[in-house]
Amino acid sequence: MESVRQIVTLEQFIIERENEFSFSSGELSQLLRDIGLAARIVNREVNKAGLVDILGITGETNVQGEEVKKLDIFANEQFINALSAGGATCMIASEENEDFIRVNSLVSKNAKYIVMIDPLDGSSNIDVNVSIGTIFSINRRLENMPEPGLADCLQSGMHQVAAGYVIYGSSTMLVYTTGFGVNGFTLDPSLGEFFLSHRNMQIPEKINSYSINEGNYFKFDYPIRRFLAWIKEEEKSEGRPYNARYIGSMVADLHRILLKGGLFLYPGLKDAPNGKLRLLYEANPMAFIIEQAGGKATNGFQRILELTPHELHQRTPLFIGSRKGVEEVESFLKGDVKEHTLALLPNLKYWHPVPEEGGIRPLKLGKANP
């Protein structure tokens, strides 16, 4: 007899998995439902973006000093509204808002979760019909505090209870983890329902591609430039040269890497030593997902999930993807590389001193070091 393929909706999956949490009272499940709902609404607008007058810049800038487009504002509102109405979060921090928002309704103010969200990541791709995404990270509220506040957000990434992203691409997917593997759900737009399509996702070890904005080449430190030269060298036995693929939407680049294997890099720059990406809204949630899928995420020297955040909109250099690729770039950053690669770019200097604390080895660049 032919076996019947089991169809599982996001809703069913959330209920099945609720018992993974010993302290579960259904609030986390409610949060995931709220995010699923807002994602469907944002998806509808993203798909209409070319048809209605929703594109274009509003003339405002966000707290990072970047242009805010209408769809960013719309997505921000949808997620805040859905999360506030759901009653399972007492506080929301959004990349689009300078400060966190306390949800003061009767049901929400005692809720035990905090949500940090980048409602529409890759927004410069909206006008050109390229994939964009939403990234979220969920913390449990600290105990013994009179009311939720900044300290709840500034917990290290190790304390995330769930994280995920939505990719609005050729199909729309919601991918999330609660620390028990990574699962992906694809939206059936005709039914308005997410279905489990990628169970227990594992990142391939083989590097299929590397992703970096190489236009910043002359702002990168010497080890990064040398690494970029090394990955372009032909060494078939090591799978080099690697293919280059860069979308400029981290969600889309990392979704590809999660499925195919690869490495995403956003290093510090000469004029921005911490790079561009935000620790709480982008690096932490993606690091949680990628680690759960068997990959690795560091700032070049330390595990992203172990960094202590100091401010809401803090940025961090990010090296994330297949374990092998991240370890390769780390070895270049630590100066611990094969002699022959020193000849590739021998005369460049570091822009920034490499930190020596926290178990980080000082650089050993060998004879060819200028």
CB of 307 to ligand AFP, least distance (A): 18
User: Would residue 327 be called left, alpha or beta, if left means φ above 0 and alpha means ψ between -120 and 50 degrees?
Assistant: alpha
Site for ligand AFP in 210-269 (CB under 6 A): 213, 248-250
Count of chain residues binding ligand AFP (CB under 6 A)? 11
CB of 67 to ligand AFP, least distance (A): 8
Asked if 58 touches ligand AFP (CB under 6 A), the answer is no
Round to whole Å and give the CA distance between 266 and 285. Answer: 15
Asked if 121 touches ligand AFP (CB under 6 A), the answer is yes
Residue of 286, 47, 7 whose CA lies nearest to 170: 47
- Backbone φ and ψ for 196, nearest 5 degrees, come out as -60, 120
Round to whole Å and give the CA distance between 237 and 138. Answer: 41
Q: Which is nearer to ligand AFP, 181 or 248 (CB)?
A: 248
CB of 204 to ligand AFP, least distance (A): 21
Asked if 276 touches ligand AFP (CB under 6 A), the answer is yes
Q: Which is nearer to ligand AFP, 267 or 335 (CB)?
A: 267
CB of 247 to ligand AFP, least distance (A): 7
- Give the strand order in the sheet containing 243-244: 243-244, 209-211, 263-266, 318-321, 296-298
Asked if 96 touches ligand AFP (CB under 6 A), the answer is no
Asked if 123 touches ligand AFP (CB under 6 A), the answer is yes
Asked if 83 touches ligand AFP (CB under 6 A), the answer is no
**Binding region for ligand AFP (CB under 6 A) out of 122-130, 294-302, 336-344, 351-359:** 122-130
Task: State both tokens at 295.
Answer: 């990959």
- Backbone φ and ψ for 153, nearest 5 degrees, come out as -75, -35
Asked if 66 touches ligand AFP (CB under 6 A), the answer is yes
Angle at 323 between CA 124 and CA 289, to 5 degrees: 55
CB of 318 to ligand AFP, least distance (A): 9
Contact assessment for residue 169 and residue 252, using Cβ atoms and an 8 Å cutoff: yes
Binding site for ligand AFP (CB under 6 A): 66, 121-124, 213, 248-250, 276-277
